[in-house]
Amino acid sequence: MGRREEPIRVARSSMPPFEEYAGMIRELWESRWLTNMGDFHHRLEGELKQYLKVSGGLSLFVNGHLALEMAIQAFGLTGEVITTPFTFASTTHAIVRNGLVPVFCDIRPEDYTLDPEKLESLITERTSAIIPVHVYGNICQVEAIEEIARKHNLKVIYDAAHAFGEELEGRGVASFGDASMFSFHATKVFHTIEGGALAYGDFSLASRIEGIKNFGIMDEETVAQVGGNGKMNEFQAAMGICNLNHIQEEIGKRKLVSQQYRRRLAGMPGIRLCPERPEVKHNYAYMPVVFEGFSKTRDEVFEELEKIGIYPRKYFYPCTNAYQCYRGQFDPEATPVAQRISREVLTLPMYADLPLETVDRICDKVLIVNAKNKNFCRSR
Ligand SMILES: *Cc1c(COP(=O)(O)O)cnc(C)c1O
């Protein structure tokens, strides 16, 4: 019913206890070291390396997008980069802003990640890399992708913005490919207000990557690269240290929310949820639901939820290859699965302190049969 309450949005930032954060940043009033790789920066870097099981290097950034943009520069990519259009603006923009051409590969209908079977035919002599996306935390077909990459001598940089802390058969998700970008934006499972990181297997890249994020400055008199400013500051790093202290509880609470959604929605005719792979340690970052032959369209469900103060997101719609800024450059119909899913998907509210009763309220509204769709059976 149209209860007047706080709107329920798709995400809500988790916060550490106020005193915990305040206690940490108090030190900054003493040290006056606010940015440029201070103590908190180094501490968070070390803690994340351990948590993410990174064996090579890890560099922190002011946000995830710059981590990806600067990774593309650091790896010296050229020409064409194969990626997917079913992602956030950042992935495609990072390629284009480096002066490279994105080539769009379609996604798998099962989990919306890059379809390796459609990958090889897109490779040309200009291709230098593949940037797949672990979308919604669904880990890509890493083996198949990397086998093709090896065969054609291509770099693989994962957009792992959604996959923080995930593992596949006990291996940290950051161990796949040449590098992985994580986003620590306020709406993500783990956040530093804004922030991000690049994890990479080859530790010898560390000085190049650290250089690019600090204007290419190597020492007081040497500017060796045309870098930018991608540094994470100490207030961000302190927030990260605090949030990392509570990450297990955070993911545990998300799991309960996810389970409640699944109890209510799994197996319903016309509703498709992401697969839960037993070999994957999940982070429960998002709750995407695909309406495929459901009694209502995605847009109808969206509007009905909005009427009761619940604000899901059409995430990802439109596909990046259909953006206004790219009009005429790409053919969205060339990636028909991505195009279809983007019209059918809705990501429902998902965050650690989302009450399970609210999940029920959302599911009730999703499942209720419209008067005009009465012929469609509701089976519970
Ligand atoms: C959040 C996100 C990014 C960018 O992260 P920011 O930290 O916001 O810059 C990139 N790719 C995907 C898929 C994301 O969801």
pLDDT digits (tens, 9 = 90+) for 264-301: 999 999 999 999 999 999 999 999 999 999 999 999 99
CA of 267 to the centre of ligand 1 (A): 31
Q: Please work out whether the CB of residue 87 comes within 6 Å of at least one atom of ligand 1.
A: yes
Among protein residues, the one whose CA lies closest to atom 10 of ligand 1: 90
Percentage of residues in the chain having pLDDT higher than 70? 96
The verdict on the CB of residue 161 being under 6 Å from ligand 1 is: yes
Q: Whose CA is nearest to atom 2 of ligand 1?
A: 161
Residue 380 has pLDDT above 50, yes or no: no
Say yes or no: CB of residue 112 within 6 Å of ligand 1: no
- Statement: the pTM of the whole predicted model exceeds 0.85: yes
| pLDDT averaged over every residue in the chain | 96
Query: Residue 324 is encoded by which pair of tokens?
Result: 């206004």
Q: Is any ligand 1 atom within 6 A of the Cβ of residue 159?
A: yes
pLDDT of 46 reads 98
- Considering only CA atoms, which residue is closest to atom 6 of ligand 1? 64
Calculate how far, in angstroms, residue 65's C-alpha sits from the geometric centre of ligand 1. Answer: 6
Cα-to-centroid distance, 90 and ligand 1 (Å): 6
Which of 61, 88, 131 to mutate for ligand 1's pocket (most ligand atoms within 8 Å of CB)?
88
Model confidence band, residue 371 (pLDDT cutoffs 50, 70, 90) = low
Q: What is the pLDDT of residue 367?
A: 96
Q: Label residue 46 exposed, middle or buried (CB < 10 Å: 0-12, 13-18, 19+).
A: exposed
63 lines ligand 1 (CB under 6 A): yes
Instruction: Verify whether ligand 1 is closer than 6 Å to residue 196 (CB atom).
Output: yes
**CA separation for the pair 339, 85 (Å, rounded):** 9
Domains and CATH numbers, the chain: 18-245 (3.40.640.10), 247-372 (3.90.1150.10)
Q: Is the CB of 14 under 6 A from ligand 1?
A: no
- Residue 327 is predicted with a pLDDT of 97
The alpha carbon torsion through 148, 151, 154, 157 (nearest 10 deg) reads: 40
Give residue 363's Cα distance to chain centre: 24
Going by C-alpha positions, the residue among 185, 212, 222, 183 that lies closest to residue 72 is: 212
Write the pLDDT tens digit of every residue in 236-273.
Answer: 999 999 999 999 999 999 999 999 999 999 999 999 99
How far apart are the two ends of the chain, measured CA to CA in Å? Answer: 21
Instruction: Summarize pLDDT for 85-140 with one digit per residue, the tens.
Output: 999 999 999 999 999 999 999 999 999 999 999 999 999 999 999 999 999 999 99
